[in-house]
């Protein structure tokens, strides 16, 4: 094997696959990457036996071949070199050593023969034809739903995101018992779902197209999708939206793009029917700035060790008031301008549930829908052309307490976007139990499995 490439190209490829390198590998070769040199193309593969990632880039190849090398050591060394420095890799046939040379430098790496590296299941019989998605659609869906998936050994199927394809629409859904997140977005119509070269590698057992009566569905592990999210980056920063193909059967899932592929196992078991949790109608509707609401909730949560926020709807003055109160620290109150429909309502939420739910809504305004103080509420995107996002959250039981006074509820506070950006909510963790009574936290109704 012999090839050359800039340090930046190989560093990018190694960073792409590092998510499939286990922290504590049960075999030394799993801590390695497989370098595969074919005419004009270099592939870098990593596989932890559950998740496999492949990165590829174009480079001049003098001699074809393959060899495994220690992933972290290789990445640390190459990342320290100048990005534009030209590297030359060379390994003799059937040898387990590779020589890396560059300007005035020479390094030797010991690895394993390529034949010892576990084979990635990138070619398998398909249950359905490949689905054409875009990086933007995937990134939007994952941004809103990943936080709601849980790690539950008793119900492994809830440790993933349910992906449903129906006609020209894709739906992402995840739930952990306290929150349910759903995203619906459009995908290319079936007439435009052309067969790709990657699709032709697979044998399709069933070719019927998805419909309202017969949708396609698969449950994908959260861990794999978090790596996919990293690979997608921020597609909106790109001038053109890249295509991502989804291939799957009952046990395997494969995402492929022009620069990477990711393969993982599907989660087995019936995903609960989450649609029955969504109320058909609402009696209270509030439209408010999502940035202002998130900032207010974050500040007020610091007063209560249980992180409980009290929301009061005032339709007469079109003001949403928020309160946080603790016995030891003190109390706080803020009011926000809002468009409120329906009668007044007082309802409580756990800030550690509400904050990530608000962050998951991609629009600058959020549509907050309520019925009663003890029934689920939803946060929704305001009408836009970027698909729809819905996050269902459960309220908490409020203790009767005198509310802190606001100097003037009619003069609602405003929060600048700069102020919002300065708030670091990720590091806040509750050091004590949520509520003294086990019954005071309302849970989602038990879903049929």
Q: What is the pLDDT of residues 29-73, one digit of tens each?
A: 999 999 999 999 999 999 999 999 999 999 999 999 999 999 999
Per-residue pLDDT at 447 exceeds 70? no
In a domain, 281, yes or no: yes
Average predicted confidence (pLDDT) for the chain:
84
pLDDT band (50, 70, 90) for residue 444: low
Q: Are 304 and 383 in contact (CB under 8 A)?
A: no
Asked, for residue 166, whether it belongs to a domain, the answer is yes
42/105 same-domain check: yes
Closest to 326 in 3D by CA, of 353, 305, 351, 309: 305
Task: Kindly state whether residue 123 falls inside one of the protein's structural domains.
Answer: no
What is the pLDDT averaged over residues 334-358?
95
Is 93's pLDDT higher than 90? Answer: no
Are residues 79 and 214 both part of a single domain?
Answer: no
Helix (H, G, I), strand (E, B) or coil at 81: coil
User: Is pLDDT above 70 for 418?
Assistant: no
146 and 193 belong to one structural domain: yes
φ, ψ for residue 154, nearest 5 deg: -75, -30
Residue 244 has pLDDT above 60, yes or no: yes
Same domain, 325 and 436: yes
CA 78 to the chain's CA centroid: 29
Are residue 83 and residue 159 in the same domain, yes or no? no
Instruction: In whole angstroms, give the CA distance from residue 378 to residue 273.
Output: 17
Region of residue 294 (phi > 0: left; psi between -120 and 50: alpha; otherwise: beta): alpha
Task: Report the pLDDT value the prediction gives residue 127, as an integer from 0 to 100.
Answer: 67
> Which pLDDT belongs to residue 18?
97
Extract the tokens encoding 108: 């030797």
Write the DSSP string, 302-316: GG-TT-EEEEEEETT
Q: In this structure, is residue 60 part of a structural domain?
A: yes
Residue 445 has pLDDT above 60, yes or no: no
In a domain, 13, yes or no: yes
**What pLDDT shows up at residue 151?**
78
pLDDT tens digits, 105-155: 999 999 999 999 999 887 767 667 789 999 999 999 999 999 999 877 778
Domain boundary among 227, 250, 271: 271
Q: What is the pLDDT of residue 386?
A: 64
Give the pLDDT confidence score for residue 401 in this predicted structure: 57
The whole domain housing 309 covers 277-440
Is the same domain home to 97 and 136?
Answer: no
pTM of the model: 0.82
- Whether 324 and 302 have beta carbons less than 8 Å apart is answered as yes
Work out the percent of the chain whose per-residue pLDDT is above 90: 64
What band does 399 get if pLDDT is binned at 50, 70 and 90? confident
Number of domains into which the chain is organized: 3
Taking residues 406-420, what's their average pLDDT? 42
Does position 440 have pLDDT exceeding 70, yes or no? no
Check residue 92 and give its pLDDT: 83
Q: What was the pLDDT predicted at 267? A: 93
Do 326 and 387 lie in one domain? The reply is: yes
Q: What pLDDT score does 133 carry? A: 92
The answer, yes or no, to whether residue 194 has pLDDT greater than 80, is no
Q: Where is the domain boundary, 271, 289, 315?
A: 271
List, for residues 260-288, the tens digit of each pLDDT value. 999 999 999 899 899 898 998 999 999 99
Give me the sign of the Cα torsion angle 184, 188, 193, 196: negative
Q: Are residues 90 and 163 in the same domain?
A: no
Same domain, 141 and 219: yes
pLDDT at 156: 85
Between 228 and 212, where is the model more confident?
Answer: 228
Whole-number pLDDT of residue 64: 93
**Range of lowest pLDDT (113-117, 203-207, 358-362, 418-422):** 418-422
Pair (310, 257) in one structural domain = no
Q: Residues 368-381: pLDDT tens digits?
A: 999 999 999 999 99
With CA atoms as reference, report the closest residue to 272 among 438, 160, 385, 409.
160
pLDDT given for residue 422 in this prediction: 42
Over 90: is that where the pLDDT of 365 sits?
Answer: yes
Look at residue 154 in the predicted model and tell me its pLDDT: 78
Residues 146, 228 share a domain: yes
pLDDT at residue 224, as a whole number? 96
CATH number at residue 307: 3.10.150.10
CA-derived radius of gyration, the chain: 26
250 or 184, which is more confident = 184
Residue 181 CB neighbours (<10 A): 29
Distance between CA atoms of residues 379 and 354, nearest Å: 9
Q: Sign of dihedral through CA atoms 150, 325, 362, 275?
A: positive
- Say yes or no: 152 and 253 in one domain: yes
Query: Rounded CA gap, 341 and 10, in Å?
Result: 56
Helix (H, G, I), strand (E, B) or coil at 264: strand
What integer pLDDT is reported at residue 421 of this predicted model? 40
Q: Please, which residues have CB within 8 angstroms of residue 260's CB and are 6 or more apart in sequence?
A: 16, 53, 54, 55, 56, 231
Contacts of 23 (CB under 8 A, 6+ apart): none
pLDDT given for residue 329 in this prediction: 85
For residue 209, what pLDDT is reported?
Answer: 54
In a domain, 448, yes or no: no
CA–CA distances in Å: residue 316 to residues 283, 348, 366: 16, 20, 20
Mean pLDDT of the 357-370 span: 93
For residue 126, tell me if it sits in a domain. no
Question: Which residues, 6+ apart, have CB-to-CB distance to 343 below 8 Å?
Answer: 283, 284, 313, 315
**pLDDT higher at 436 or 147:** 147
Contacts of residue 416, defined as CB under 8 A and 6 or more positions apart, other chains included, come to none
Contacts of 353 (CB under 8 A, 6+ apart): 178, 179, 393, 394
Backbone phi and psi for residue 395, each to the nearest 5 degrees, phi listed first? -75, 170
**Does 366 fall in a domain?**
yes
pLDDT tens digits, one per residue of 295-340: 999 999 999 888 999 999 999 999 999 999 888 888 999 999 999 9
Domain boundary among 219, 249, 271: 271
């Amino acid at each position: 094997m012999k090839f050359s490439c800039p340090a930046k190209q190989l560093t990018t490829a190694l960073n792409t696959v590092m998510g499939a390198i286990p922290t504590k590998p049960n075999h030394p070769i799993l801590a390695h990457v497989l370098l595969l040199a074919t005419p004009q193309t270099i592939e870098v593969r990593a596989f932890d036996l559950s998740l496999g990632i492949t990165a590829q880039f174009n480079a001049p190849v003098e001699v074809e071949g393959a060899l495994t090398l220690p992933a972290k050591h290789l990445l640390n060394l190459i990342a320290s070199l100048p990005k534009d420095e030209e590297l030359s890799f060379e390994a003799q046939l059937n040898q387990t050593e590779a020589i890396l040379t560059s300007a005035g430098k020479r390094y030797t790496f010991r690895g394993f023969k390529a034949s010892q590296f576990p084979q990635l299941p990138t070619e398998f019989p398909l249950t359905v034809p490949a689905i054409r998605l875009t990086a933007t659609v995937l990134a939007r869906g994952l941004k809103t739903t990943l936080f709601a998936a849980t790690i539950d050994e008793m119900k492994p199927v809830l440790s993933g995101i349910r992906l449903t394809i129906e006609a020209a629409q894709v739906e992402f859904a995840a739930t952990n018992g306290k929150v349910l997140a759903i995203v619906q977005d459009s995908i290319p119509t079936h007439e435009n779902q052309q067969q790709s070269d990657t699709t032709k590698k697979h044998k399709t057992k069933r070719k019927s197209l998805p419909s309202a009566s017969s949708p396609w569905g698969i449950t994908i592990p959260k861990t794999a999708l978090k790596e996919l999210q990293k690979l997608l980056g921020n597609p909106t920063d790109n001038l053109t939206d890249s295509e991502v193909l989804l291939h799957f059967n009952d046990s395997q899932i494969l995402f492929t793009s022009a620069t990477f592929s990711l393969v993982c196992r599907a989660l087995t078991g019936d995903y609960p029917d989450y649609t029955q949790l969504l109320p058909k109608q609402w009696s209270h509707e509030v439209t408010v700035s999502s940035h202002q609401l998130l900032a207010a909730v974050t500040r007020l949560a610091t007063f209560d060790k249980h992180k409980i926020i009290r929301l009061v709807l005032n339709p007469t003055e079109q003001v949403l008031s928020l309160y946080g109160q603790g016995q030891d620290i003190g109390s706080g109150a803020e009011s926000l301008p809002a468009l409120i429909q329906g009668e007044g309502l007082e309802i409580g939420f756990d800030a550690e549930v509400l904050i990530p739910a608000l962050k998951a809504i991609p629009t600058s305004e959020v549509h907050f829908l309520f019925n009663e103080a003890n029934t689920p509420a939803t946060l929704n995107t305001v009408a836009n052309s970027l698909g729809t996002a819905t996050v269902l959250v459960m309220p908490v039981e409020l203790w009767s307490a005198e509310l802190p006074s606001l100097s003037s509820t009619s003069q609602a506070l405003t929060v600048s976007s700069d102020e919002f950006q300065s708030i670091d909510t990720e590091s806040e963790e509750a050091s004590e139990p949520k509520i003294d009574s086990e019954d005071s936290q309302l849970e989602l109704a038990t879903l049929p499995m």
